[in-house]
């Protein structure tokens, strides 16, 4: 397990009008293209994504914290970003909060000094009708990201991922009212938001 955890490259991803038109930049990636065409209203979770959501909620419950409603909008952003980071390479200074130029969104390099934080914060409003900023934690596992591996890594991460999940430290005065989950190949992204999503998954 230790060797697996050492393979985790964990990055904290912190908060842009709906845009689902066909884009030739995504044509080489049919699963991404179909996801964009369907939009957040058609979001469905994979078994691993559902497991990660359940594990995060149970972990919060163990610490006396409330459940966070599952958001279709933030899940859409998470699923799109998981594919973007899986398909594209970024310069060494750009962590996994970065977005490529290869899609119908505003690309940008997210650096460790958070100088370009809006490239993260504003993505939910750019890609969906979500009414607020988005804050992201991410996980990379070379052999394939899973719910258990990523949550375990976040819980022991020195970069503050556990604080985001449990609303501690600088996040202690923040209340999460929306959460989105995306897992694809080597990538896992979880997005948190303070505002309620009109597209919350109320039946799950």
CB proximity list for 52: less than 8 A, separation 6 or greater: 147, 150, 151, 181, 183, 188, 190
Helix (H) or strand (E) holding 188: strand 187-193
Mean pLDDT of all residues belonging to the chain? 88
- Contact yes or no for 61/167 (Cβ under 8 A): no
The C-alpha angle with vertex 62 and arms to 184 and 169, in degrees rounded to 5, equals: 80
CA 204 – CA 192 distance, rounded (Å): 18
Model confidence at 204: pLDDT above 90: no
Tens-digit pLDDT profile for residues 88-118: 999 999 999 999 999 999 999 999 999 999 9
- pLDDT tops 60 at residue 57: yes
Return the number of other C-beta atoms located less than 10 Å from residue 144's C-beta.
13
Average pLDDT over residues 141-160: 95
Residue 53 has a pLDDT of 98
Predicted pLDDT at 25: 55
Q: Who has greater pLDDT, 200 or 26?
A: 200
């Amino acid at each position: 397990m230790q060797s697996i955890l050492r393979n985790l490259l964990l990055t904290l991803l912190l908060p842009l009008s709906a845009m689902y038109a066909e884009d030739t930049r995504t044509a080489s990636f049919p699963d991404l293209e179909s996801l964009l065409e369907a939009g957040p209203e058609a979001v469905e979770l994979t078994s691993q994504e559902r497991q990660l959501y359940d594990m995060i909620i149970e972990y919060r419950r163990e610490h006396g914290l409330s459940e966070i409603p599952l958001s279709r909008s933030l899940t859409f952003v998470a699923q799109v970003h998981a594919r973007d980071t899986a398909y594209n390479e970024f310069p060494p200074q750009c962590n996994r909060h970065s977005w490529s130029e290869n899609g119908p969104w505003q690309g940008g390099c997210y650096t460790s000094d958070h100088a370009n934080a809006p490239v993260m914060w504003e993505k939910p409003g750019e890609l969906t009708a979500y009414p607020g900023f988005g804050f992201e934690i991410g996980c990379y596992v070379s052999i394939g990201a899973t719910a258990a591996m990523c949550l375990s890594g976040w819980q022991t991460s020195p970069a503050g991922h556990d604080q985001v999940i449990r609303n501690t430290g600088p996040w202690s005065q923040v209340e999460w009212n929306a959460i989105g989950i995306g897992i694809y190949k080597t990538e896992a992204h979880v997005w948190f938001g303070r505002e309620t999503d009109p597209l919350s998954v109320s039946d799950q």
